[in-house]
Amino acid sequence: METTRKWKPLELPTWTAVPAWLLLSGGITVLALWCQPNPLRDVLRIFLEQPVLILLNVLPVALVLAFLGFLTRNLFAGAALTELITGVLSVANRIKIEIREEPVFPRDLALLREVGSAMRNYEIRYPAAVISLVAVLFLCLVGAAAAVKFRPAKHTFLRGWKTALAGAGISAAVLAVLCVTLLGSKTVYQKLKISNASRMSVIFNETGFPYEFCRMLRTYSVERPRGYSRAEAEAWDSAPGEPGAPADVHVVFVMNEAFSDLTDQPVFTAEEDPLKHLHAIEQEEHCISGRLVVPGFGGGTANTEFDVITGMQTRSLSQTATSAMRVVDRNLDSLFRVFRAEGYRTSFIHPGYSWFYNRQNVYRWLGAEQTEFVEQMESPVYKGSWISDDYTASLVEREFETAVAEGSLLCSFTTSIQNHMSYTYAKYGEDADYDPLETAVPVPEEVQMMVDVYTEGVRDADAMLGRLRDYFAARPEPVVLVFFGDHLPYLGDGGMGYQALGLDVSQVDGAVKDSYFAYETPYVIWANDPAADRLNWTEAAKKLDIGDGESLSAAFLGAAVLELTGRGGETAWFGFLNSLRRSCPVVQRETVLLADGTIEPASDLEGTELGQQLEKWKKWSYYKLRQKILGD
């Protein structure tokens, strides 16, 4: 009687496991690269020009495969799971880039509950061919896991579960170390050639999704504060605000690129004041002016936007440098939402690209109903490399007139761009008519060039302020104009220009002697006559407790404007900020400027009532940024 022959899997020599592991790792990596929006041939060309990218992308895939292979005790089963995970993430990355110009970040994995809601807001075209290939390869690897095996190792101690678990643990540990070292290295990343290092989708497309996903594990971090309790933060956030007396006034914020009163320093001896409009407005009756202490020196525009609009502090989110806009991934409370709740038209204008700092998505999450970027602007007017401040002023005026025509009050925020670095003669052209700014000390030609080019932009920024002041002064509608700079200009590596000019831009946090000079820009809060009457300006300005000409953290500016217009305590969050501001008008990570004018290291305040309030600020911010679910 014949018996059915029992089917046996194909058995491969033990030594072939290592080559198979390497081939499978390489194949899965190629699949991830093929899933990217840009053609695979372009990716491979870039990788051949920079071979280190091959290593940076294959390593994480190979180690995940090793981990899962050891865990399942089957190389092909581990490959199937690795291919599925890599494929799904790569397809998601492709879709996200195509619909939002933003790649998949590790933090997105914590937002799976919100994916369904988000998907309903977009018309998604699923890449059927890519998805089909990922599915087919997964099934093939599952079949290989059942049909192929490797001969057991000769030594029995290499065959058991303990060895498999040890192998999985070692693989995971090596991957973790590499994410902190090689894959997370700024030095390695900065040596890579990227066509547009400001555009996240380009970075991911050109350096590879597996590498970038791992690199982002350490980039743009938000740290959980010590002693944080979600229940406690929820209680703070749900507490009722205090009813105010909101005044129906238009509120217009304008943050001007690199706007500063650097030219007021004694080292400059210009006969004509480059900031004549700023200085004139500062003397007007209906004006509050002072020094805004911003998050960064020589850069970090979007961080200042974030601080002003949300009341959170970029520099308190992490002990390492981070980008506030890059960590926003959900709807947040903001100035826009306070005004929007009262029927205001809320808008954001920026004469730069919408993808820069992911503003196209972030401002929607912040509650701006209308956004306008360079892509939507018709016939924009440039001065040199960037859209002019004069043209940007016309956009502010047009947005205001649109709101008035609609019968709406306006809360708008505009970020200009003309005076963006670099400050070389190429910015406006070698033949441009520069008005040299004389200095009391001799400086190198390179520094003189930076000063002259920067000052040309400052004059235009000041003219923009003057234009908007005159425009709103002539309007019958009540308007409050808030005008300020985002950071000091970048004048060469290591503060070269500042050193040549004899200006102290030391950024030593924690030192009582820190004057905040490196972080200070001017700000004005100005009201036209109709707004001053409606606000009862003299009394309202006095109640703010903001000393004229004194310093104020950027994160307190928005809350102060809310209080000025009768909205300062309507939400518990902004009410808390206005209360904290009165105790310490400036908080800059390691130092605190107290209301009496003294500067103290933050560490000296631990255990005090003020120290506890500062910790509360960090914890509450973490809750809002990472855990609060806010509807539209």
What pLDDT shows up at residue 324?
A: 87
Asked if residue 489 and residue 364 are part of one domain, the reply reads yes
Looking up residue 304, the CATH number of its domain turns out to be 3.40.720.10
What pLDDT shows up at residue 249?
A: 98
Within a domain: residue 450?
yes
Is residue 86 within 8 A of residue 137, CB to CB? The reply is no
Q: What is the CA radius of gyration of the chain?
A: 28
**DSSP H helical ranges for 299-433:** 301-310, 324-327, 335-340, 359-366, 389-406
Burial 181-191 (b: 16+ CB within 10 A, else e): ebbbeeeebee
Give the pLDDT band of residue 107 (cuts 50, 70, 90).
confident
pLDDT tens string 584-614: 999 987 889 999 989 998 889 999 999 999 9
Residue that is last in its domain, among 215, 250, 280: 215
Question: Is the pLDDT score of 411 beyond 70?
Answer: yes
pLDDT tens string 61-80: 999 999 999 999 999 999 99
Please state, for a pLDDT cut of 90, what percent of the chain lies above it. Answer: 69
Q: Which of 97-101, 151-155, 391-395 has the highest mean pLDDT?
A: 391-395
What pLDDT shows up at residue 506?
A: 64
To the question of pTM greater than 0.85 for the whole model, the response is: no
Asked if residue 168 and residue 21 are part of one domain, the reply reads yes
The CA distances from residue 196 to 199, 200, 374, 591, in Å, are: 6, 8, 17, 36
What pLDDT shows up at residue 318?
A: 84
Is residue 270 within 8 A of residue 438, CB to CB? The reply is yes
Identify the residue whose tokens are 């899965």. Answer: 28
Within a domain: residue 188?
yes
Residue that is last in its domain, among 163, 185, 215: 215
Q: Strand runs (DSSP E) across 125-217, as ranges?
A: 148-150
Q: Residue 256's closest CA among 355, 368, 385, 349? A: 349
Do the bridges between strand 370-372 and strand 345-349 make them parallel or antiparallel, or are there none, so unpaired?
A: parallel
> Quick one: angle between helices 359-366 and 301-310, nearest 10?
10
Asked if residue 357 and residue 211 are part of one domain, the reply reads no
Give the pLDDT band of residue 510 (cuts 50, 70, 90).
very low
Question: Is the pLDDT score of 415 beyond 70?
Answer: yes
Question: Is the pLDDT score of 104 beyond 60?
Answer: yes
Range name among 44-53, 100-109, 131-140, 548-557 with the lowest pLDDT average: 100-109
Residue that is last in its domain, among 158, 183, 215: 215
Q: Is 407 exposed, middle or buried (0-12, 13-18, 19+ CB in 10 A)?
A: exposed
Over residues 507-531, mean pLDDT: 80
Asked if residue 334 and residue 206 are part of one domain, the reply reads no
Identify the residue whose tokens are 């504060």. Answer: 225
Within a domain: residue 477?
yes
C-alpha 558: how far from chain center: 18
What pLDDT shows up at residue 117?
A: 47
Q: What is the mean pLDDT of the chain?
A: 90
Asked if residue 115 and residue 243 are part of one domain, the reply reads no
pLDDT tens string 431-487: 888 888 889 889 999 999 999 999 999 999 999 999 999 999 999 999 999 999 999
pLDDT tens string 334-393: 999 999 999 999 999 999 989 888 899 999 999 999 999 999 998 999 999 899 999 999
Is residue 621 within 8 A of residue 317, CB to CB? The reply is yes
Give the pLDDT band of residue 625 (cuts 50, 70, 90).
very high
Distance CA 329, CA 357 (A): 12
Over residues 105-115, mean pLDDT: 65
Asked if residue 606 and residue 548 are part of one domain, the reply reads yes
Q: Find residue 382's DSSP bridge partners.
A: 387
Within a domain: residue 380?
yes
Helix (H) or strand (E) holding 349: strand 345-349
Within a domain: residue 223?
no
What pLDDT shows up at residue 114?
A: 47
Residue type, 551: S
pLDDT tens string 156-182: 555 567 888 999 999 999 999 999 999
What pLDDT shows up at residue 218?
A: 78
Check the CA dihedral 396-400-403-409 and report its sign.
positive
What pLDDT shows up at residue 122?
A: 52
Identify the residue whose tokens are 């192998």. Answer: 167
| Residue 317 Ramachandran class (φ > 0 left, ψ -120 to 50 alpha, else beta) | alpha
pLDDT tens string 2-43: 555 666 788 888 789 899 999 999 999 999 999 998 899 999
Distance CA 183, CA 193 (A): 16
User: First and final CA of the chain: distance in angstroms?
Assistant: 75
What pLDDT shows up at residue 61?
A: 97
Asked if residue 450 and residue 411 are part of one domain, the reply reads yes
Angle at 563 between CA 561 and CA 566, to 5 degrees: 115
Question: Is the pLDDT score of 99 beyond 90?
Answer: no
The CA distances from residue 145 to 80, 81, 287, in Å, are: 8, 11, 74
Asked if residue 184 and residue 303 are part of one domain, the reply reads no
Question: Is the pLDDT score of 511 beyond 60?
Answer: no
**DSSP H helical ranges for 367-444:** 389-406
Over residues 419-440, mean pLDDT: 88
Give the residue, 119 or 362, on which the prediction is more confident. Answer: 362
Asked if residue 173 and residue 271 are part of one domain, the reply reads no
Question: Is the pLDDT score of 277 beyond 70?
Answer: yes
Asked if residue 411 and residue 386 are part of one domain, the reply reads yes
Question: Is the pLDDT score of 514 beyond 70?
Answer: no
Asked if residue 412 and residue 365 are part of one domain, the reply reads yes
Is residue 374 within 8 A of residue 352, CB to CB? The reply is yes
Within a domain: residue 178?
yes
The number of domains in the chain is 2
Distance CA 285, CA 489 (A): 30
Q: How many CB atoms lie within 10 A of CB 61?
A: 26
Say if residue 185 is preceded by a cis peptide, omega within 30 of 0. no
Distance CA 188, CA 212 (A): 12
The alpha carbon torsion through 455, 457, 461, 462 (nearest 10 deg) reads 30
Helix (H), strand (E) counts: the chain: 24, 15
Is residue 212 within 8 A of residue 103, CB to CB? The reply is yes
Distance CA 487, CA 313 (A): 15
Asked if residue 259 and residue 362 are part of one domain, the reply reads yes
Question: Is the pLDDT score of 403 beyond 90?
Answer: yes
Within a domain: residue 221?
no
Per the structure, the complete domain to which residue 137 belongs is given by 10-215
Over residues 297-305, mean pLDDT: 92
Do the bridges between strand 591-593 and strand 287-293 make them parallel or antiparallel, or are there none, so unpaired?
A: unpaired
Within a domain: residue 336?
yes
Distance CA 332, CA 338 (A): 11
Question: Is the pLDDT score of 416 beyond 80?
Answer: yes
